[in-house]
Amino acid sequence: MQLIVNAQRLADTFTTLCEIDSPSRQEGELAAYLTTLFRDELHPETIFEDDSAARTGSDCGNLICRFNGDPARQPIFFNCHMDTVSPCQGVRVRFDGLSFTSHGETILGADDKAGIAMLIEMIRVLKETNTPHAPLELIFTTCEEIGLLGAKNLDYSKIKAEMGLALDSAGVDVVVVGAPAANRFTVKIQGVAAHAGLHPEQGVSAIKIASQAISGLKLGRLDAESTANIGLISGGTATNIIPEQTIIHGEVRSHCENKLQQFTDNIEWRFRETIESWRDNNPEGPLLPPLEWKVAKEYPAVKLKNDDPLLNLLSKAAFNLERPLTQLVSGGGSDANIFNGQGLRTAILGIGMTKVHTTDESITINDMIRTTELIISVATN
């Protein structure tokens, strides 16, 4: 039997959530609202906020709610993040009876408050119909949009379920079963400052060396599994001073760990080779300091097998609703990458949001209902 989602209640919940400000590191007001709602209305067996705030810099920790269920069924968790990207303060929701948008000056916040609203509605439906379900854990993280910091600092010993779904992707009846690993790198190139008009020959432009290195890099789509990007460059102090320093920030992503390392090493080699080439071509020039290169593992890959029990559960849930379920491989990263790296099998569920991270962000009530029906089916199968 398919359980009925209350469309008006879902719409009202979503609107309320969107209009609570929760930029990254300022999720406290939303966490407090959710804590009160769950404790006063939905009565989880356990609800607690972890101590991750000391490490993430947020004004609250991650929030975990646990609902006991049929012990014969395998526990499952659902994950959403509480933070939203800028501009996200003072959101006012416009709902025309079908689609939700903001009034245009801010993002909407469907990423990821639509997922939170769906989880609340799922629990409400299960409670009011007294429907048997698997043991459930709801994990609401902080600081996802600024490096998955909440998930990285979650105490995983407190999570009982070994598999789950992150409600954090576009599309409907879509499940992301693969996502790349990523490295983030920082390059600091040191040149020599000099007056650009009086003594330009005494200077060495760090910006010029950086541009020579970057011009020799392959960026964008590297192959079918890998990408690379340089997203931030800073350097120089004034137009009349040869720039002494340039700092470059970039990333490499790949579904293959070996390729991730290979492409990251190639970028480092290119910068080092460019500086060595300058030294060879300017033997009488000033001695340049060594290149400063830092690389950090941003997140591991998601790679679920076709016969994974989580995917079997999802397929059964979709079959019971008589709808198709499409499996995709994504190029993005999410909390699911971190969960998988911690040994918790996690797929990413499409929830219908579109044009996220823009002021044109939107979602329809029909897609929200459809996804809520699917997660209810997952919880009760």
Answer whether 182's CB lies under 8 Å from 369's CB: no
What is the total residue count of the chain?
381
Question: Annotated active-site positions, please?
Answer: 83, 144
Q: What DSSP string describes 60-126?
A: S--EEEEE---TTSPPEEEEEE--BPSS-TT--EEE-SSEEEE-SSS---HHHHHHHHHHHHHHHHH
Answer whether 216's CB lies under 8 Å from 274's CB: yes
Calpha distance 41→44 (Å, rounded): 9
Residue 276 main-chain phi, psi, to 5 deg: -65, -40
Q: What DSSP string describes 133-162?
A: ---EEEEEES-GGGTSHHHHT--GGG---S
- Cα 284–Cα 286–Cα 292 angle in degrees, nearest 5: 130
Answer whether 138's CB lies under 8 Å from 118's CB: no
Residue 157: exposure state from Cβ atoms within 10 A (0-12, 13-18, ≥19): exposed
Answer whether 203's CB lies under 8 Å from 242's CB: yes
Q: In 3D, which of 126, 119, 32 has the Cα closest to residue 78? A: 119
Q: In 3D, which of 374, 310, 322, 334 has the Cα closest to residue 121? A: 374
Angle formed by the axes of helices 110-129 and 7-18, nearest 10° = 140
Structure tokens at 244: 């002494």
Calpha distance 356→359 (Å, rounded): 8
Q: How many CB atoms lie within 10 A of CB 289?
A: 13
